Structure 1
């Protein structure tokens, strides 16, 4: 019985060729790898360490398959034609990543990308030789198509309310299922709900769907049996509806481009069939898209079995009707069509006419859908997305900015590149404005950044050679079954790579696997042109195999080592969820760092723990360990902001203010648009300069003030530049002269005798809720400081309460709300610090009410130890006074939070005044600080 993808020629070839029994192990292993990989090998951007272990397991599987291939092919392997030479050439791709490792901006990310590229090379080699055998080719193509269809249904299960079924199907082996639900199979952003299936990113899922939409049409037309036509025809509507549900404008823009390109490879009869099937499926999909969209949106809010059944009915009926119509076209119209235009098809350039016509039709459809009310037939969310397609909308402008910034990185790392993950490690240093994007949204530019011009030339030479050789042979011998098989793989590789011009699809290891399997499928179908140079000597053949084995052994060792390290790091995180034991959490971290001393997450967790313990007992052993761990980590990860922040925290605990400022100063060029880096840089420089001024150390005063004013000028210039951005381009993260910056820079001007400039800076930074304070005539007076501190507390308390309530009621840690609270608290605390510095820490510098709110801000900001000292200093003996009782309450709660010994005297007096205070103390101590 013929396969649903293949025709009579493939069936005859299969009958004439038998797969050796010994090869079945490799074939089955390869298929199992294909089934496992989509639900495990996701996005790796150097930050999501949950994906570490699956990546290393994938490399391990690739190594094992390559070992098995060597064992099966070592006698038959020959370097006699260009296809064999590609098995050698592909090793140059991981080699370029190995070279870039020596100049990498992040050793951790570069090493992981080297492993991923090595896995791609292993899969390419194995695929290249497996796919030369036609029967194996049939099996692997159907396995790829089956996996793709399963991914489509997996996504629709999540969209139509059956997320528990979808999660249950893969939860036993996938690390992305939480509480029975696959994470972000349906994501939410500013555009609303977007379908992502396994990818957790709608645009990449759109690229995947686009590729397999055309594969399904190709398989449908190529099938000779009814069930093959029906299966592939049935899948067209689910694929198109899923594509619409991604709301991906890039997918909708690239789909007609890829479609027209693929038409160029077909004879006129097949071009017509491609267009007919796409029109049938498109009409059916648009007909059900609106109800399926609305039902999915409804089901995301409330469970509704009847609505889910209705949604499935729409989808399945439309799919069945489409399948039937496509079968009718193939069964009755296709043979007549091929016969009737056979003579016309042989004319020169006839295959260009329909693509040109299709281009005109696509342009007309685009005009109607984007520029007229015709788009109202689509769901509202899709209509809105189409309405916003233009070259001035923010996502387009942002991508152009990414591309320009990527070229800046390349200019500084031209030959070997910045190593794997180079963009993620460096983009904040080169960015044009304060966007957040650890991906360059262009695979080719990102590849250029990572391996430089040398590696980019190697990669482009490799893929262009494969495409050129295959396409040239296909156009001359397209009737040959080998080339038909190869076209299946060309569709996959071409679709994904073209879409990757606009997005970071290839940052998903599974998409990379599909591309390299696609390249191998094309290479397997290439003409077996003999090599002009005598490569087929036994020395070269066995030398290659020996080199492959040695490289694979090294990868195997590294993968196993990294799996052990990843397991240990995961254990530490799991233990930290249930235990507060320092030694218990530390043990797996030490294990994780044994073989990877610069593993970012493990370094940060261990350093944070050491800092915390040091703050409690002042044992220098913990400070020394923290410093050693961070110093070693920063050797390989000099751009890791979290490691630098832990180093700053350590210096602060040790009272090394100058060293902490030096970290901010020496790394400010890495984070040129991070206002949270420049705020402490300016305020710390102001504080240290003011101290030096009070100590009459003019040299230090000038040094620190220059640092602060230079940083302030950078912020002012940045704010002015952001006003020149195109109107459609979003600025990105906040970047402005904040009240905290205004306090620091204004103080510098005031101390240096320029009160007018100080007032101007305050007016620049004190806006909105602080604006009335900036216009007062008593700037910098004690009364002004008191009012500023009170205002900061009031403005920070509201978002803190909102954040805390969401945290305890829904477990939602809203970082944007928390950042708002922290920013206001920081302003008030800096105002307090300025006065305390000038008064040499006089305890009576502020009234007790102000001292109370300062202590509260310190407690809620996470500086509980300082809060203890502040609150204690403000206490009086009058426990009939409500403010004094509140001071005592927060003071005792802070002690309890630190697990310190209770101040029994204060406690007894407070309880004597009000017995209900005990419960209030416990309530405050249970509150979670912002950091």
Structure 2
């Protein structure tokens, strides 16, 4: 029975194959000039997107929508008139692909930002268009291969541009930053994922190409892709690459397994061969050396390929399983030996800046684990340095940081080498902290015309030199950039823990909006309200989580149906043609690579990469369409107008994209007018921008501010009312936008709508709680409105607001405590000068809510409350603390300071204050001295302006103080016991 089923399936496949071949010939014969124009247009659509910043921005994306729409419209016309095909849907994958578009359409009705939601809908319509065109046009294997060539060559161009940027030859913004190749996609992780996908296609094409010149070109192309992939320095991509490569190897038809292994090993060997010299050229800023090693690797790749290809033509060996296993074991031993040599052979670490190279930190960091806390250590290293000609331009530095169990870093020691050294052995003693779990040791160079070479680094406990641990600073056979990235792979590492925080916060949104999501752009519209600490990212860094945030479980199911159905087609429509099967599997492996990496990054937020993926979906779907399914589309119309309906919707897509692009263009014109001081021109441009793109709230908000300025100048009530209405519309359009709430609150408060204004400021704080600006604005609002109530003799209402104001620190402390302790990227909120000023005013007013106090506080220009420690780091906010001693913060009361030993403790204002020239000021320190004493001074650019040893004093600022860095210092004398409460500066 089972044999009969297999035989029947084999016969069905043969019939289907024959029918498809006959139909393909008919379709080919019916091609006309329009079809070739569309074909060429599709190839262009698949080729150019990566070169325009990945189509991440509207400037490049919206014109692409228009272009795609025109192509699709032409294809619909061609289908309906020339091919006489009236059926729109051809396979279950079509329904799944359109369902994703449908999910984004439905999410419009629950979106929190309609403009973003429409933008995402347009993107997915574009992706569907790409999918449909590719799957419908690739009806022959030849068409499929041409499309694949276009995609691979496009990726090769991107890789080549990145290599050129690394060499300094190609000048493309953001193509090479921080020693990493970003190329035209401007993001290294996405570049690495994109090149991985392209490499899978390259291998698939190479093993199935019949012409030697094509294989040779692909050998060069694959080497270029791999070299750029390495120097994108994406750790996640490196870790995932073996998995995707294994998928390609395991699934490719047996007759091509050895070929793809052979070709890929040649590519890897060429990339590894060129990497050390290539890296050395980049590090040294030597353009010619970078190109020399690239070309050397290219020649290596082509020559090795050619030799093996010719040998394989002359020698046909029937490989037995035992021989294959033996060869695998030998290769494994060789690879293991090579890896051991590469990982144990070291060389000195050299960091240098050329004479004309701008000043920048070049630092190599190394992690040392299993460090004992509160223990004396010594770092021993051999150093050679060439400092700069100018004073303080040191040649090299060693930086030592303590890392606690939560991956928080604290500086322990910094050693700078200002003199020329020649292989001098340096010992650097230091002591780990009480919470030290591991160390981060950095070797640095910073200034033009300087260099530093470090070698023989070793760390040991001060009382046990025999138990030293070697630190390999540089590997002889591994590029320095690669070694540094490999050594930093850790679950506790900054970017990994940061992603986990993004994912946790995304899950909060999904939990609240599980079915339909928050609409396209939901994450970047609302994430501030859900974040667990202050970070900035418009993307979740996980495609699947972002998809759920935007479209809920509906969108996720619709999208996952596409790869599931493609896998089903691969299983059911298994071809007897090994070459075709190899190409199909390469397409599947490529799509898997993109999706796999996108699970932990935002690659698919770049429309160019998403287009690449949906083109792969189209190629996979094309192979799954049988001739019978395709032929059905040619039957006479029986009331089905799907093709023409699709054409009509496409027209709307084109017009809508065109209108949004016009709005964008006028918006840019308005910004330029504002920058040049042309208020009238900016107003006219913003009015046009709002007309063509009425969904963008920022256009209305910006226009309202212009109306407000003009209305204030001319006392124009009508224009003032327009400004208020526009701000109300803008705030309503983006309910999660705290800035728009604050902007509307500003105008409400100015007009005397006090309760409404404060309510909006409170809502802004709820929507963006980890933004200190909203707390500053809220504190100011409470204090200013309280002044209004005091002027109206409504002291009770004033006290209520003042109580809310002084309660702000407790709310911020609670937020800080909720932040994830394991994420090294967490920076806890601390008080700012403005917040401290309004908190102090509120406290003084709540003690004496009268007009005299209001009058006096109008002259208060700076205030510090030493009992406020929002980030709970044991130091008063606003102040850096120098010297050793005991500091205790008693919230809402004081800071107790007791210097240790014979040294004093200095509180140094961390940020400068602005004082007007030639004006009298009064300084007041609220303190209780139990023992000893203190001294106060005010300095401007490190020169003393005023000093005081009492609790009050007056001074007049010098004429040249404006623009200078003005700071305050409080010195607590040795053996003192002082309680500090507040520091006030009044303008007399």
TM-score (norm 1): 0.72
Q: What residue number does 1:321 align with?
A: 300
Pick from 818, 826, 833 the counterpart of residue 731 of structure 1.
Answer: 826
- 1:160 corresponds, among 159, 167, 170, to 167
In structure 1, distance between residues paired with 2:197 and 2:340: 20
Cα separation, 1, equivalents of 2:332 and 2:30:
42
Q: What is the match of residue 112 of structure 2?
A: 105
Task: Name the counterpart of 1:516.
Answer: 614
> CA offsets, 1:569-595, max 9 Å, x none?
2222333344x2222222121111013
CA displacement, residues 761-789 of structure 1 (integer Å, 9 cap, x when unaligned): 4466844637799999x999xxxxxxxxx
Provide the residue aligned with 1:559 in structure 2.
657
CA distance in 2, matches of 1:286, 1:664: 58
Structure 2 counterpart of 1:500: 598
Matched, 1:452 2:552: yes
The Cα of 1:408 is off from its aligned counterpart by 0.8
**Is 1:38 the equivalent of 2:132?**
no
* d(CA) in 1 for partners of 2:136, 2:910: 69
Would you say 1:63 and 2:69 are equivalent positions? yes
Q: Report the RMSD for the aligned CA atoms in angstroms.
A: 4.5
Match of 2:124 in 1: 117
Using the alignment, how far apart are the partners of 1:735 and 1:137 within structure 2?
A: 55
| Counterpart check, 1:90 vs 2:101 | no
TM-score by length of 2: 0.68
Kept in 1, the 8 Å contact 2:275–2:479? The answer is yes
1:645 to 1:366, Cα distance in 2 relative to 1, 3 A: farther
Change (3 A) 1:754 1:270: farther
CA contact (8 A) 1:83 1:528 kept: no
Partners of 1:360 and 1:495 in 2: how far apart? 28
Distance 1:144 1:430 in 2: 39
**Matches of 1:363 and 1:422 in 2, distance apart?**
51
Distance 2:528 2:813 in 1: 18
Taking the TM superposition and a 5 Å limit, the aligned residue runs for 1:727-806 are 729-732=824-827, 735-749=829-843, 751-752=845-846, 761-762=867-868, 766-767=876-877, 769=879, 795-796=912-913
Q: Aligned to 2:281, which of 289, 295, 307?
A: 295
Deviation of residue 647 (structure 1)? Answer: 2.8
1:562-620 deviation digits (Å, cap 9, x = unpaired): 22222222222333344x22222221211110132242442343233334444545544
* Aligned mate of 2:224, from 219, 238, 246: 238
Counterpart Cα distance in 1 of 2:869 and 2:323? 78
Query: How many Å separate the matches in 1 of 2:687 and 2:803?
Result: 42
Distance in 1 separating the partners of 2:733 and 2:210: 57
| Closer, same or farther: CA 39–81 of 1 in aligned 2, 3 Å | closer
Q: 2:826 aligns to what SS in structure 1?
A: coil
Aligned partners of 2:686 and 2:699 also within 8 Å: yes
**Partners in 2 of 1:86 and 1:77 — Cα distance?**
22
Instruction: Provide the C-alpha distance between the structure 1 equivalents of 2:68 and 2:300, rounded to a whole number of angstroms.
Output: 42
Report the alpha carbon displacement of residue 528 of structure 1 after superposing the two structures with TM. 1.8
CA distance in 1, matches of 2:212, 2:22: 18
Shift of 1:690: 5.6
Q: After superposition, where does 1:278-289 map in structure 2 within 5 Å? A: 278-289=264-275
Residue in 1 that maps onto 2:362: none
> How far does residue 31 in structure 1 lie from its aligned partner after superposition?
1.6
Structure 2 CA distance, aligned partners of 1:377 and 1:19?
58
| 1:27-426 pair list within 5 angstroms | 27-40=39-52, 42=54, 44=56, 51-74=57-80, 76=83, 83-163=90-170, 181-187=171-177, 192-268=178-254, 270-299=256-285, 307-333=286-312, 339-341=318-320, 377-426=477-526
Alpha carbons 1:566, 1:592 under 8 Å: kept: yes
Q: State the SS of the aligned residue for 1:542.
A: coil
Counterpart Cα distance in 1 of 2:772 and 2:272: 46
How do residues 565-644 of structure 1 correspond to structure 2 at under 5 angstroms?
A: 565-578=663-676, 580-614=677-711, 616-644=713-741
User: What secondary structure sits across from 1:241 in the alignment?
Assistant: helix
TM-superposition CA deviations, 1:410-465 (whole Å, max 9, x none): 11111111111111111111112222111101001101111111122111112321
Structure with higher Rg: it is 2
CA 1:584/1:37 → structure 2, altered by over 3 Å: closer, same or farther?
Answer: same
Q: In 1, Cα distance between the equivalents of 2:336 and 2:21?
A: 37
Q: Distance in 2 between matches of 1:287 and 1:587?
A: 60
The question of 1:486 aligning with 2:578 is answered no
SS of the equivalent of 2:537 reads: coil
Q: Mapping of 1:746-895 within 5 angstroms?
A: 746-749=840-843, 751-752=845-846, 761-762=867-868, 766-767=876-877, 769=879, 795-796=912-913, 849=956
Q: 1:621 to 1:20 in 2, by over 3 A?
A: same
User: Cα gap change, 1:254/1:109 in structure 2, threshold over 3 Å: closer, same or farther?
Assistant: same
Equivalence map 1:606-685=2 (5 Å)? 606-614=703-711, 616-651=713-748, 659-685=756-782
SS at match of 1:264: helix
Q: Secondary structure at the match of 1:623?
A: helix
Match for residue 36 of structure 2? 24
Contact 1:290 1:379 in 2 (8 A): yes
Q: Distance in 2 between matches of 1:694 and 1:296?
A: 67
- Aligned residues of 1:851 and 1:874 also touching (Cα < 8 A): no
Report the Cα offset of residue 708 of structure 1.
Answer: 2.5
Output the CA distance in 1 between the equivalents of 2:337 and 2:607: 34
**1:541 to 1:574, Cα distance in 2 relative to 1, 3 A:** farther
Deviations 1:222-248 (A, max 9, x none): 222221121111123322221122121
Given the superposition, is the C-alpha separation of residues 292 and 856 from structure 1 closer, same or farther in structure 2, using an over 3 Å criterion? closer
Contact kept? 1:762, 1:774, Cα under 8 Å: no
Q: Report deviation, 1:705.
A: 3.2
User: Which deviates further from its counterpart, 737-746 or 431-440?
Assistant: 737-746
Q: Which secondary structure state, in structure 2, belongs to the residue aligned with residue 183 of structure 1?
A: coil
Cα distance in 2 for partners of 1:775, 1:444 equals 45
Relative to total residues, which structure has the larger strand share, 1 or 2?
Answer: 2
Matches of 2:105 and 2:803 in 1, distance apart?
42
Question: What is the rounded CA distance, in whole Å, between the counterparts of 1:386 and 1:243 in structure 2?
Answer: 14
Retained in 2: the 8 A contact 1:467–1:522?
no
With over 3 angstroms needed to count, the CA separation of the structure-2 counterparts of 1:673 and 1:471, relative to structure 1, is farther
> How many pairs were matched up?
749
The CA deviation string for residues 387-424 of structure 1, in whole angstroms up to 9 with x for no partner, is: 01121212111112211211111111111111111111
SS for the counterpart of 2:535 is: coil
Structure 1 unaligned residues grouped into runs of 5+: 1-9, 45-50, 164-180, 300-306, 781-789, 799-823, 825-844, 858-872, 876-931
The structure where helix makes up a greater share of residues is 1
Residue 717 to residue 295, structure 1, CA distance change in 2 (3 Å): same
8 Å contact 1:97–1:113 — kept in the other structure?
yes
User: Alpha-carbon deviations, 1:443-499, whole Å to 9, x = none?
Assistant: 0110111111112211111232123312553xx426355434433432332211111
Contact 2:182 2:191 in 1 (8 A): yes
- Corresponding residue number in structure 2 for 1:815: none
Q: Cα deviation per residue 1:252-277 (whole Å; 9 max; x = unaligned)?
A: 11111111111111245533333333
Superposition deviation, residue 557 in structure 1:
1.8
SS in 2 for 1:274: helix
CA contact (8 A) 2:866 2:877 kept: no
Match 1:438 to one of 532, 535, 538: 538
